[in-house]
Amino acid sequence: MTKPATREQIIETADRLFYQQGFNHTSFSDIAAQLNISRGNFYYHFQTKDDILQSVIEARLEKTREMLKRWEEEASTPKARIKKYMQILNTNWDKIQYYGCPVGTLCTELAKLNHASLPEANRLFTLFRNWLREQFIQLGCEENADELAMQVLAWSQGVATLANAFADKKFAQQEVRKMCNWLDNYNK
Amino acid sequence: MTKPATREQIIETADRLFYQQGFNHTSFSDIAAQLNISRGNFYYHFQTKDDILQSVIEARLEKTREMLKRWEEEASTPKARIKKYMQILNTNWDKIQYYGCPVGTLCTELAKLNHASLPEANRLFTLFRNWLREQFIQLGCEENADELAMQVLAWSQGVATLANAFADKKFAQQEVRKMCNWLDNYNK
DNA sequence: AATTTGCTAGGACAATCGTCCTAATAAGTG
DNA sequence: CACTTATTAGGACGATTGTCCTAGCAAATT
């Protein structure tokens, strides 16, 4: 009994297209064309377009959790882990340059659409926020750990938005460097 | 010969709806319904929807230029002027809470749509960037004036994005306070 | 009053949207 | 093999999209 891969392929392709083109601007036809499947076939796997979005968000949440877990294995100190987050701007530059931050742009769009899945999408932010806060707590900043987490989060969002607008890689790299330096000198 | 106000009303309403709902998600019908005019009437004033967007961007550019000029009149020192910019997050909080930053969200959306007017929209960013840079130059930071301008710009974008996602007014206020303090202590 | 011009309402147009139905095929089970 | 289930293709559906045409009203000018 081989599990049908179609459903996963739809989620995968929808994930990519939602990121590249936005949720509202991506149609069933777009996804179907990429997968060479029939448009009418969607209904067997998903009831509505919103259901696809829901699955995409869940998939992103899961992938993010795995990534954060991987970072904890790869980096032994809290500072090194936080830097993993900051380095995303360099690691994923090719995509960020064209499409911005996957989390920020999705939440922004769903907010404007007044979409029912907005709270679910915002959980992506919360995931990073809690994880960063935990790292700052381990760093010995119990009192303002959440504030620092929000600061790092806001920093990355701002840089991603500007780097996207100006397509300025040097700016992004420079900001990452500055932020890492700030972290190195923080708390001694 | 009374100038026809319809064209200006269309721009005005489109401006507001593009901000609240996004460009792509706002239809001719939406704008027409708000103004109680016929949908077919648009063609007399604008050839295409993209033309409306173009006019909206131009209107925003003009309004921004006037605002920056007003700030220069109202604030006598460069630091006071830069603070005017930072305070926007508090001043326009009611809107930012729901719709984010008008500039950032528009540029992000047009980037995803691969829209021809994206460069025009990005000029809104450039307007603020150059103005902030000028203020930092007057502050005596000739060498890194542009870098500082980008930093302030990125900061505001990040805070706006997060404040929108978490609907957190206290966070926004706190960040404004921190940023103003940073500015006060900068360059002595 | 007659005529031109500025502006508008209403609807037609093809295309596309998300949704949903049905018939046909593929896969799995007895 | 027959039979049930899982999956798919293709297209119909009503609604909505941006665009565009035309007839008619309103206003200004002659």
pLDDT per residue as tens digits for the range B13-39: 999 999 999 999 999 999 999 999 999
Task: Tell me the mean pLDDT in the region B98-125.
Answer: 98
Distance CA A61, CA B76 (A): 49
Distance CA B129, CA B136 (A): 11
CB atoms A166 and B122 under 8 Å: yes
CB atoms A161 and B107 under 8 Å: yes
Task: Tell me the mean pLDDT in the region B147-170.
Answer: 97
Q: What angle do CA A119, A122, A124 make, to 5 degrees?
A: 130
pTM of the model: 0.95
Where residue B1 falls among pLDDT bands split at 50, 70, 90? very low
**B56 CB-contact burial (10 Å; exposed 0-12 / middle 13-18 / buried 19+):** buried
User: Which pLDDT belongs to residue A188?
Assistant: 67
CB atoms A155 and B157 under 8 Å: no
DSSP per-residue string spanning B37-54: --GGGHHHH-SSHHHHHH
Numbered residues of chain B with Cβ closer than 8 Å to any chain A Cβ: 20-22, 24-25, 98-100, 104-105, 107-109, 111-113, 122, 125, 147, 150-151, 153-159, 161-162, 164-166, 171, 174-175
Percent of chain A at pLDDT exceeding 70: 97
Residue A141 has pLDDT above 90, yes or no: yes
User: Which pLDDT belongs to residue A187?
Assistant: 80
User: Which pLDDT belongs to residue A40?
Assistant: 87
Residue A1 has pLDDT above 80, yes or no: no
Residue B40 has pLDDT above 90, yes or no: no
